Structure 1
């Protein structure tokens, strides 16, 4: 009898992470409510969000309640959706905690007066709980998402509250449609000639976001180890057919667009 009880106890304990995981809302519906209410065409109503912040705060709490063991039981797509939504939710929280933004330290002199960079420790301050860890925004992006998933399209989904960023969707990322969402985000950003990509065909120059300069190595695999070719291939894959075909023919120079750090409001 004692042996049977021990076996039953071990079985129950083994199931606990799965039960907890099953309880997590992989549709991220609460975050969806936040985005639907306060994001339109990629621009955020931070004033309205600050006055109606309870749903965002509650969602951030649910992210923090997920333990490392629970997270490990998620599928790869569920994990990536979890981290991308977490990053975007944490950025929104960072901004509304200090909104309206005013010019900060000497570092802020290099950025617009309403930039997220005016907020002290915005990217490096370890203040958010997720997946059993306490993280900064930089930790989440550079120590978890980039090295773990090796997915260049994620740069089209992580939104750092700047006009120059890819737009923030009005719906959350979800595992079931994640691949389609990442493709859509990539196409949308690279169709933005002011911030994403612009072609000067006569001069055979491709102008791309500074994101590709900062994280060029993340695209190198698409060029068989060559960063420049990898960036060209990424843009070609996520462009309308004529531009995609042109970028795969002959040689192209890369130039980088100035990054617009104004707040995406």
Structure 2
């Protein structure tokens, strides 16, 4: 009898584990389809999403019940990066017609979304779920705040199996983009992202040292660094 009980619990555990795996796999697959359909060259077709909200609503409904442990690092990071980017889109759709995420008070710090089994703000996804748990400044080049000043949203989901390559690709793309890192006449102007999150970029040297890690044409350490104003206009098509 005891062996039968143990076997029953083992089968139940496997069933639950398989169900969880299928749920998160479904989330990644559907998120990939969503971004592919509505994102092009870093711009989001908010009008099309607004006309057919069911797809986004269904996707976020799946995300609401998914629970991933930080010990499953790539699953955890990929889930929360996608969840952040989808929640930003949800926030803009819920306030359709705004010209900037800043047009809605509390867009980042008080509006909550049901994700990962909890109610959470965009700021808490970024700062508590990702930055506090993992030492990786590349997050700043894949979390897209809905503004033109952000590094671009890509037309695909971040996937556990390719996450590191995607993080590396997007960071290199941003830091080699002359409109994002503006170098001229012995000066370099960088996004205010580097000012707001400076602690993330100077752990192993200066901000320029971090930038040079990913650049084809490195910048001299003697170059004067300034910050240009963030462009908060909506990243819409």
Task: For residues 141-170 of structure 1, give each alpha carbon's deviation from its aligned partner in whole angstroms, at most 9, with x where no partner exists.
Answer: 111111112110010000000000010101
Contact kept, 8 Å, 1:26 with 1:175, in 2: the verdict is no
**Which residue of the partner structure matches residue 263 of structure 1?**
234
How far apart, in 2, do the equivalents of 1:216 and 1:58 lie? 37
**Which residue of the partner structure matches residue 105 of structure 1?**
none
Q: Does 1:11 align with 2:10?
A: yes
Q: Does 1:214 align with 2:213?
A: no
How far apart, in 1, do the equivalents of 2:74 and 2:170 lie? 16
How far apart, in 2, do the equivalents of 1:149 and 1:9 lie? 37
**Which residue of the partner structure matches residue 181 of structure 2?**
197
Task: For residues 95-146 of structure 1, give each alpha carbon's deviation from its aligned partner in whole angstroms, at most 9, with x where no partner exists.
Answer: 0111111xxxxxxxxxxxx111111321123521222211011111111111
Task: For residues 20-64 of structure 1, give each alpha carbon's deviation from its aligned partner in whole angstroms, at most 9, with x where no partner exists.
Answer: 332121671212222222211101111111112211111111111
- Please give the TM-score of this superposition, normalised by the length of structure 2: 0.91
How far apart, in 1, do the equivalents of 2:209 and 2:167 lie? 16
Q: Does 1:117 align with 2:114?
A: no
1:81 is matched with which residue: 59, 78, 81? 78
Stretches (4+) displaced over 4 A: none
Q: Does 1:173 align with 2:172?
A: no
How far apart, in 2, do the equivalents of 1:127 and 1:215 lie? 22
Q: Secondary structure at the match of 1:160?
A: coil
- In structure 2, the CA distance between the partners of 1:250 and 1:168, relative to structure 1 (3 Å rule), is closer
Contact kept, 8 Å, 1:190 with 1:238, in 2: the verdict is yes
**Which residue of the partner structure matches residue 156 of structure 1?**
141
How far apart, in 2, do the equivalents of 1:55 and 1:222 lie? 42
Q: Secondary structure at the match of 1:121?
A: coil
How far has the Cα of 1:236 moved from its partner?
A: 0.9
Q: Secondary structure at the match of 1:150?
A: coil
Relative contact order higher in (CA < 8 Å, ≥ 6 apart): 2
Question: Gaps (5+ residues) in structure 2?
Answer: none
Contact kept, 8 Å, 1:31 with 1:55, in 2: the verdict is no
- In structure 2, the CA distance between the partners of 1:130 and 1:156, relative to structure 1 (3 Å rule), is same
How far apart, in 2, do the equivalents of 1:232 and 1:130 lie? 36
How far apart, in 1, do the equivalents of 2:107 and 2:6 lie? 48
How far apart, in 2, do the equivalents of 1:178 and 1:139 lie? 21
- The equivalences for 1:91-106 within 5 A come to 91-101=88-98
How far apart, in 1, do the equivalents of 2:221 and 2:95 lie? 49
Query: Aligned Cα RMSD in Å?
Result: 2.0
- Please give the TM-score of this superposition, normalised by the length of structure 1: 0.82
